[in-house]
């Protein structure tokens, strides 16, 4: 019982230190802050440290307290490192995507960009619309600056027409975005594409406004497995 209590105290202490060790410079701007006031960096560092403490204690059977401390420090630092990196990337994307029609969302350790159909492609077309080039150029510049995560591009359609046609169309649209980003210097090894057709609608397909929202391209940014973030 004493050992378990000591592990919890050690894990909690290191989690707090890990979370506070790398404050994000964007917290004061409200760009990378949770509703509770805790930055994403602190959250990831704290949770990572707690998980690392448990793992470290399990590995080091001879000295569980020491194992917990080492595990918390190692995993907590890595998690906080990506949180800090993502905070900076999120802030830069919000600035570059301002007034382009592209929405930037933060979902845990992932950043999602939602590109609505009214700026991306014409009806039943996978040719990039003129209004889409400027956001894509900004995106390419950002991806070259922040080059330490993977980029998944997913195309979506509304439910009009056959499912197979929509699946093919959404795949071509996602590929068109990938091809253009590559032509602008983004490393192709970071990119993956997927066509989701009418799946996962964000609005009702029963009216024109809802269908317009469902016709979109989403770009998901995720950490590279095993990557060390500073």
Cα distance between residue 179 and residue 186, in whole Å:
9
pLDDT value of position 50? 52
Ranges of the chain whose pLDDT falls below 70: 1-80, 230
What are the backbone dihedrals phi and psi of residue 184, each rounded to the nearest 5 degrees, phi first?
-95, 10
pTM value is 0.68
**pLDDT at site 43:** 54
- Separation of alpha carbons 69 and 179, rounded Å: 46
pLDDT of residue 81: 79
Residues of the chain with CATH 3.30.1330.60: 102-223
Q: Which two tokens stand for residue 59?
A: 């590995």
CA dihedral 188, 104, 91, 182 (to 10 degrees): 20
Tokens representing 113 are 């960009």
What pLDDT, on a 0 to 100 scale, did the predictor assign at position 29?
34
- Pair 155, 113: CB distance under 8 Å: no
Specify the pLDDT at position 23.
Answer: 44
pLDDT of the residue at 108: 87
For domain 102-223, give the fold: 60s Ribosomal Protein L30; Chain: A; (3.30.1330)
Distance in angstroms between the alpha carbons of the first and the last residue of the chain: 37
């Amino acid at each position: 019982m004493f050992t378990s209590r000591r592990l919890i105290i050690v894990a909690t202490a290191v989690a707090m230190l890990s979370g506070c060790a790398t404050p994000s410079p964007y917290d004061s701007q409200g760009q990378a802050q949770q509703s509770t006031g805790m930055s994403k960096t602190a959250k990831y560092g704290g949770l990572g440290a707690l998980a690392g403490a448990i793992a470290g204690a399990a590995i080091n059977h001879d000295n569980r307290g020491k194992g917990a401390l080492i595990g918390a420090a190692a995993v907590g630092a890595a998690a906080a490192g990506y949180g800090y990196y993502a905070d900076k990337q999120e802030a830069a994307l919000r600035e570059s995507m301002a007034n382009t029609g592209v929405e930037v969302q933060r979902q845990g350790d992932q950043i999602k960009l939602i590109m609505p159909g009214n700026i991306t492609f014409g009806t039943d077309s996978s040719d990039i619309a003129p209004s889409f080039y400027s956001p894509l150029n900004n995106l390419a510049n950002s991806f070259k600056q922040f080059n330490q995560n993977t980029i998944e591009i997913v195309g979506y359609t509304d439910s009009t027409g056959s499912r197979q046609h929509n699946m093919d169309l959404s795949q071509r649209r996602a590929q068109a975005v990938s091809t253009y980003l590559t032509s602008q210097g983004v490393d192709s090894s970071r990119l993956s594409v997927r066509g989701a057709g009418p799946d996962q609608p964000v609005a009702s397909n029963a009216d024109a406004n809802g269908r317009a929202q469902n016709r979109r391209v989403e770009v998901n940014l995720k950490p590279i497995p095993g990557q060390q973030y500073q």
